[in-house]
Structure 1
Amino acid sequence: MRSILFGAAVSVAVLTQAGCAQEGPALDREQLLEDLRILAADDMEGREVATEGNARARAYIIERLEGIGVGPVNGDYEHSFTFSLPRNPDDDITGVNILAQIEGTSDSERTLVVTAHYDHEGMRDGQIWNGADDNASGVASVLAIAADFAANPPEHDVIFAFVDAEERGLQGARAFVANPPIPVENITFNLNMDMVAMSQDRILWAVGTYHYPFLVPMVEEVAARADVSMPMGYDEPTEEPGGDWTLLTDSGAFHVAGIPFIYLGVDFHPHYHQPTDTYENMTLDFFQDASAAILDFAREADERLDEIGEAAGR
């Protein structure tokens, strides 16, 4: 979570009014916990990009998507990309994004892209950094959205992007935006989940409304129904270290391209980027309630997508 990316500015408009769902969508809470437990297990070896553990996590996610009945994008779930790091510019690393899609019931070309990174830090000095919160939790939540949308098709097309190499500079998200599987102008909104399972205070932050104030009514609508607190913030320019999360996770790559986003995630906690980020240390009741709110948010975003597009000029 929260790798450093480059900056950009965007213009914003005002979204006035939209409908809302009367009841929150259904969530398979037991499957949600099972996905979190499996993805954060020791045999995934911390899911570092370009490792066997990362490949095992990828295989599990694809198996779940197939079981849910959500098909691949352009005939393949796996979309590879290469990148290099500044310390080894001649050493190419291959990452793999997992892309799945559900067609909407309308003829709109506007598309919702739902993201979560599945990689983590791998192993350090023989110790596994399991990455339960960061970001097995976001992946599990996106799988829950995919399952609900497969059973109850959305109005608009939805792409589920489980991106790789976030911990190495948002590489998977940047690759997706640079070479999108659909025309980039059709990508209307990005909903990104990164760390949604650990909060003693039961707070799930909604990041992005400072840049896109027309999204405030949508956040307020979902927050009013949620069983967790969902304040807005952590997206204004500040001199305070860690005070602006805009470009520190995958939604930052979409923002730089001028695509509106909301990033849902918890605050920093003692297990962040530590080997103690394990399934056993998560606040599981909060995680289930947060994921229910996230699913509700995805439904609300689909319902409002045309208005979001009009407000954003997309």
Structure 2
Amino acid sequence: MKKHLYTLGMAAAFLSACSTSQTPATSGSDAVSTAAKAVGAIAADPTKYANTITAADLEKHLRILASDSLEGRETGRRGQKMAADYISKHFRANGLMGPVKTGSNPYYQTFDLEESSWGEGYMTVAGKKYTMGKDFFVLGASPFQAEETAQVVFAGYGIEDPAYSDYTNLDVTGKVVVVLAGEPKKADGTYLLSGTDKMGTWSQDPRTKAAAATKKGAKAVLLVTGSTDEEFQKMTGRYANALTRPSIGFGATATQPRAALMMVSPTMASALLNTKAANLTAYGASVAKAGKPVASTFKPATGVKVKTERKRQPLPTENVLGYLEGSDLKDELIVISSHYDHEGIKDGVVYNGANDDGSGTVAVMELAQAFAEAKKAGAGPRRSILFLTVTAEEKGLLGSEYYTMNPVFPLANTVANLNIDMIGRNDKQHEGKPDYIYVIGSDKLSSELHAISENANKTYSNLELDYTFNDPNDPNRFYYRSDHYNFAKNGIPIAFYFNGVHDDYHQPTDDVDKINFPSAEKVSRLVFHTAWDLANRTERIKVDSNKK
């Protein structure tokens, strides 16, 4: 009772202040109207709208999106197009706007990916031929369509940071850069950059090194993987299995070249640098002793030949966007996201992806409907909300990467991203205890977002918020493995909601009948209440930290 009286009192005070103030832009009845809309959201009971998110509606949508008729929703295929159509029609039916100004469908952000498969691939070093798929693997695109002579340079750990740079006085323009995996440590075993036992993005995400090399003009980055060839084989086994299958990604262009990223064995790296594998380990020890980058004595091989033939064709796809305009703070934006693609059909078997991420997608659809209902009742959000279902997550977070590279709304105006991926199932750690959710990343960039999430749960949901996977040293690296990461790396606070993996993960047995819809309902309502707070508070949340 005290809580509701306090809220209504604040709302009345706010309305009084707004109606008596005069500004050149808004006065009289217009000012009262704008203020009234803001107060509508502040004074309204969000539970009324959260309760429109129901297990029955989640199931209704998922039985369509995860049916065999949608053929596993693989990026660029017919089933993915059918899913996009279903989601966009849901947004339209609930009064959300399609915010995309180009193309024939304002709910679609269309773009071309590139489908490709490997042809011949090798490197020749000092007369010895190293084979793609055995001695090295290419992650993503590669510019060496025909055989080329490559100039090789060594760049330590491949780090470019204000506190530590391997590129000082090193020209890598147009060259192939060999770098060590991970990041340097001090003699006491702590990481040199952080000063603690916590590894950073340079260790967690090899794309960070590729991005740094790209900025320096490198043509390719060769990441020395494993301390022995046996370890290299174990670490790259999944790439060997995928080598014969077509893959999907962004193609390199003249205006936006990307340094190729390759994982190479210690033996091959040693040949490229004219040294022994033991000396690569010794280099790391010398950095630990010096506490800073050191010059190497390696004299890279000359006359290296590279060919990584790739057969390519464009693959059109689309993100699906539903936009709900806010009231007095409408220029600021909350993004609620999921990915709606999955694995498609393999060997004639449909991979329906009910949990991954049909569950998150139907949650976003229900959240969109709940906020739309609030707006129809005069309690719409103060900030605008973008309901973003992205394609090609399974291909490397490509749909969300495309959005953040080509945002429909300025990233500077994007307050936060709440991302939902795989809810409504239990992992082994929570068998028999379904009322939980892993929350990842809520404290990485904003302490306020973390506090809002905690308060929303305490006030409305009472789920167990499990932060196991928020640990930067967790080997699963889930913080880097779903679409929120593309917002986080652009400095936008995120929270990732995830119930963990299970035996049906990326298997054809990930079916609707295994989803616990009451559990998915509770998590979806938690996301709603968190989004409600973010969208209606007066002050935008602060970005006050930068945790890894």
Q: Considering the TM-score relative to the shorter chain, is it more than 0.5?
A: yes
1:247 aligns with 2:480: yes
Q: Residues of 1 paired with 2:438 and 2:316: CA distance?
A: 32
Aligned mate of 1:97, from 319, 322, 325: 319
Contact 2:440–2:497, Cα closer than 8 Å, also in 1: yes
Does the aligned pair in 2 maintain the 1:234–1:245 contact within 8 Å?
yes
Alpha carbons of 1:271 and 1:307: their partners in 2 closer, same or farther (altered >3 Å)?
same
Structure 2 CA distance for aligned equivalents of residues 37 and 194 of structure 1: 17
In the alignment, which residue of structure 2 is the partner of 1:80? 110
Match of 1:288 in 2: 521
Match of 1:160 among 382, 387, 392: 387
Residue identity over aligned pairs, in percent, reads: 28
CA distance in 1, matches of 2:394, 2:538: 29
Cα shift at 1:175: 0.4
1:26 aligns with 2:51: yes
Q: Quickly say closer, same or farther: Cα 1:277–1:289, change in 2 above 3 A.
A: same
**1:45 aligned to 71, 75, 80, which one?**
71
In structure 2, what residue type is equivalent to 1:231?
D
Quote the Cα distance in structure 2 between the aligned partners of 1:62 and 1:23.
Answer: 25
Q: Is the 8 A contact 2:53 2:521 kept in 1?
A: no
> What is residue 67 of structure 1 aligned with on the other side?
93
Task: Assess, with a 3 A threshold, how the Cα gap between structure 1 residues 67 and 108 changes in structure 2: closer, same or farther.
Answer: closer
Cα separation, 2, equivalents of 1:64 and 1:53:
17
1:80–1:96 CA contact under 8 A, matched in 2: yes
Please tell me the residue identity of whatever aligns with 1:26. N
Contact 1:27–1:292, Cα closer than 8 Å, also in 2: no
Indicate conservation of the 8 Å contact 2:71/2:79, yes or no: yes
The counterpart of 2:505, out of the listed 247, 260, 272, is 272
For 1:131-170, what aligned pairs fall within 5 Å after superposition? 131-152=353-374, 153-170=380-397
Q: Is the 8 A contact 2:419 2:495 kept in 1?
A: yes
Whether the aligned pair in 2 keeps the contact of 1:117 and 1:166 (CA below 8 Å) is yes
> What is the rounded CA distance, in whole Å, between the counterparts of 2:414 and 2:468 in structure 1?
24
Q: CA deviation at 1:22?
A: 6.1
Whether the 8 Å CA contact 1:109–1:157 is kept in 2: the answer is yes
Q: 1:278 to 1:227 in 2, by over 3 A?
A: farther
Match of 2:422 in 1: 195
Offset of residue 305 of structure 1: 7.3
Residue 223 of structure 1: aligned partner: 457
Deviations 1:137-159 (A, max 9, x none): 11111111111111112110111
- 8 Å Cα contact 1:227-1:289 kept in structure 2: no
Partner of residue 3, structure 1 = none
Identify which of structures 1 and 2 has the higher relative contact order when contacts are C-alpha pairs closer than 8 Å and 6+ apart.
Answer: 1
**Which residue of the partner structure matches residue 236 of structure 1?**
471
**TM-superposed deviation, 1:23:** 5.3
Cα pair 1:49 1:95 within 8 Å, conserved: yes
- Tell me which moved more, 217-226 or 138-147: 217-226
Could you tell me whether the CA contact under 8 Å between 2:46 and 2:532 is conserved in 1?
no
How many angstroms apart in 1 are the aligned matches of 2:91 and 2:112? 24
Change (3 A) 1:58 1:23: closer
Match of 1:259 in 2: 492
The question of whether the paired residues in 2 share the 8 Å contact of 1:99 and 1:159 is answered with yes
Distance 1:167 1:310, change over 3 A: closer
- 2:417/2:484 contact within 8 Å kept: yes
Q: Which has the larger radius of gyration?
A: 2
Structure 1's unaligned 5+ residue stretches are 1-18
CA displacement, residues 96-141 of structure 1 (integer Å, 9 cap, x when unaligned): 0011101101145211111111000001111111000101111111
The 2-side partners of 1:254 and 1:305 are apart by 22
1:305/1:44 Cα in 2 relative to 1: closer, same or farther (>3 Å)? Answer: farther
C-alpha distance after superposition, 1:24-78 (max 9, x if no partner): 3222412221011111111011100011111111111111111111110135011
Does 221-230 or 272-281 show the bigger shift? 221-230
**Pair 1:223–1:233, CA change in 2 (3 A):** farther
Q: Which residue does the alignment assign to 1:10?
A: none
Q: How far off is 1:82 after superposition?
A: 2.2
1:207 aligns with 2:440: yes
- 1:222 maps to amino acid: A
* Contact 2:100 2:108 (C-alpha < 8 Å) held by counterparts: no
**Distance in structure 1 (CA, Å) of the matches to 2:542 and 2:107:** 27
Is the CA contact (8 Å cut-off) linking 2:351 and 2:508 kept in structure 1? Answer: yes
1:236 and 1:305 map into 2 onto residues whose CA distance is 31
Structure-2 separation of matches of 1:204 and 1:162: 21
Aligned residue identity for 1:113: V
Residues 149-181 of structure 1: per-residue CA shift (max 9 Å, x gap): 111121101111110000001100000000101
Aligned partner of residue 71 in structure 1, secondary structure? coil
- Give the letter for the 1:220 counterpart: E
Deviation of 1:229 after TM superposition, in Å, equals 2.0
Give the corresponding residue for 2:23: none
Contact 1:110 1:306 in 2 (8 A): no
Query: SS where residue 313 of structure 2 aligns?
Result: strand
Shift of 1:307: 3.3
Question: What is aligned with 1:126?
Answer: 348
1:20/1:130 CA distance change after superposition, 3 Å: farther
Q: Return the alpha-carbon distance in structure 2 between the equivalents of residues 63 and 80 of structure 1.
A: 16
- Asked whether the 8 Å contact 2:354–2:511 carries over to 1, the reply is yes
1:181 aligns with 2:408: yes
Would the aligned equivalents of 2:58 and 2:517 in 1 still touch at CA under 8 Å? no
